């Protein structure tokens, strides 16, 4: 069988490449009907993600273990999948105060592919493996492949290379687990069914992938002590919006007025966690910092004066 024939066979059997019987008359539908069809299909996505919750939880634990050991999370994808990985990675520093290298996105075709499609860039497994080398991926890191079809050569090549050097590996796909044959530590198979427009995986598949990536990093960061109650407390005050958000957090959680919140943040050098512990535990900055260090950065434990506890799933 020729390479082209193999590819045709692969695509013809993928759930994400099938025709959707519920949208076959979309070309003759009114605008309102088109939107209803799209929305009806989108409502299936959240349920499909929930069905993979157990596997997502396993993946989160591996990510947390990696972070605690000083490793990094790398997303690898092509097209929409690659852009979603870059998007999720780029949002971690301002949201959770993480260093930019802690979560990184790699896309087939490089930075240019973020803004303009580089379709042929996804066809080489060797290029995917080489991308890991260029980014300095080590056995201490964890690599998450993202490909709606599962078959994208660039992503497969990167995932195989990651496993070969000893990395933990994850994979997010939108085809059934029964057809998933790539050896990884955790596969997340969110089966959203055929797309509204056949093969347009930027739609339901992209939405599903975005939801999963949100869950992976958000849950991991919560387990890393980046959140107090449901508030972002490790954000970086790098923009006026984030400065005001920090003040508002102090006002809501600690019951301070605007001026008092500003003063305590200034005394804490702009570090929201330190400011919270200072106020809620009624201690000075050095003591608050010592408590946070002892509690591995968890504000609730630091307020109580508790030490770090073993992580539990």
Mean per-residue pLDDT for 148-157? 94
pLDDT of residue 7: 52
Catalytic (active site) residue 122: yes
Catalytic residue among 91, 125, 130, 287: 91
Contact 149, 179 (CB under 8 A): no
Distance CA 292, CA 290 (A): 5
Catalytic residue among 17, 41, 119, 122: 122
Contact 49, 193 (CB under 8 A): no
With a cut of 80, say whether residue 3 has pLDDT above it: no
Write the pLDDT tens digit of every residue in 208-229: 999 999 999 999 999 999 999 9
- Domains of the chain plus CATH, in order, are 11-223 (3.40.50.10490), 227-304 (1.10.8.1080)
Catalytic (active site) residue 306: no
Q: Which residues contact 238 (CB under 8 A, 6 or more apart)?
A: 94
Among residues 94, 110, 101, the alpha carbon closest in space to that of 137 is found at 101
Distance CA 106, CA 103 (A): 10
Contact 274, 299 (CB under 8 A): no
User: Tokens 């930019």 correspond to what residue?
Assistant: 100
With a cut of 90, say whether residue 6 has pLDDT above it: no
Contact 148, 178 (CB under 8 A): no
Contact 63, 189 (CB under 8 A): no
User: Binning pLDDT at 50, 70 and 90, where does residue 120 land?
Assistant: confident
With a cut of 70, say whether residue 141 has pLDDT above it: yes
pLDDT of residue 285: 96
Contact 108, 121 (CB under 8 A): yes
Mean per-residue pLDDT for 241-264? 94
Nearest 5°: phi and psi at 197?
-105, 120
Among residues 241, 211, 210, 82, the alpha carbon closest in space to that of 146 is found at 82
pLDDT of residue 12: 65
pLDDT of residue 16: 87
* DSSP one-letter code for 15: G
Contact 151, 122 (CB under 8 A): no
User: Binning pLDDT at 50, 70 and 90, where does residue 236 land?
Assistant: confident
* DSSP one-letter code for 307: P
Enter the pTM of the model. Answer: 0.91
**Percent of the chain as helix, strand, coil, to the nearest 5:** 55, 10, 35
Distance CA 215, CA 124 (A): 29
Handedness of CA 181, 187, 190, 195 (dihedral sign): negative
Mean per-residue pLDDT for 38-66? 97
Handedness of CA 91, 93, 98, 101 (dihedral sign): positive
Length of the chain: 313
């Amino acid at each position: 069988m020729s390479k082209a024939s193999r590819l045709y066979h692969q695509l013809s059997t993928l759930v994400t490449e099938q025709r959707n019987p519920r949208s076959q008359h979309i070309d003759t539908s009114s605008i309102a009907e088109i939107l209803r069809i799209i929305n009806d299909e989108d409502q299936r996505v959240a349920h499909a993600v929930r069905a993979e919750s157990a596997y997502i939880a396993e993946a989160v634990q591996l990510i947390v273990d990696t972070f605690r050991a000083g490793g990094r999370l790398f997303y690898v994808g092509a097209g929409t999948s690659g852009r979603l990985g870059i998007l999720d990675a780029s949002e971690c520093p301002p949201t959770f105060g993480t260093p930019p290298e802690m979560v990184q996105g790699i896309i087939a075709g490089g930075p240019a592919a973020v803004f303009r499609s580089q379709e042929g860039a996804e066809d080489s497994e060797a290029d995917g493996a080489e991308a890991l080398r260029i980014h300095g991926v080590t056995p201490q890191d964890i690599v998450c492949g993202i490909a709606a079809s599962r078959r994208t050569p660039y992503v497969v090549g990167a995932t195989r290379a990651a496993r070969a050097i000893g990395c933990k590996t994850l994979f997010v796909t939108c085809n059934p687990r029964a057809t998933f044959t790539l050896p990884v530590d955790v596969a997340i198979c969110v089966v959203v069914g055929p797309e509204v427009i056949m093969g347009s995986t930027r739609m339901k598949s992209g939405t599903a992938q975005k939801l999963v990536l949100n869950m992976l990093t958000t849950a991991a960061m919560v387990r890393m002590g980046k959140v107090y109650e449901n508030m972002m407390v490790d954000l970086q005050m790098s923009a006026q919006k984030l400065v005001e958000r920090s003040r508002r957090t102090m006002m809501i959680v600690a019951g301070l007025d605007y001026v008092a919140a500003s003063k305590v943040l200034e005394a804490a050098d702009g570090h929201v966690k330190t400011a919270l512990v200072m106020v809620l535990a009624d201690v000075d900055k050095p003591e608050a910092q010592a408590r946070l260090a002892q509690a591995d950065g968890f504000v609730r434990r630091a307020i109580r004066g508790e030490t770090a506890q073993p992580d539990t799933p």
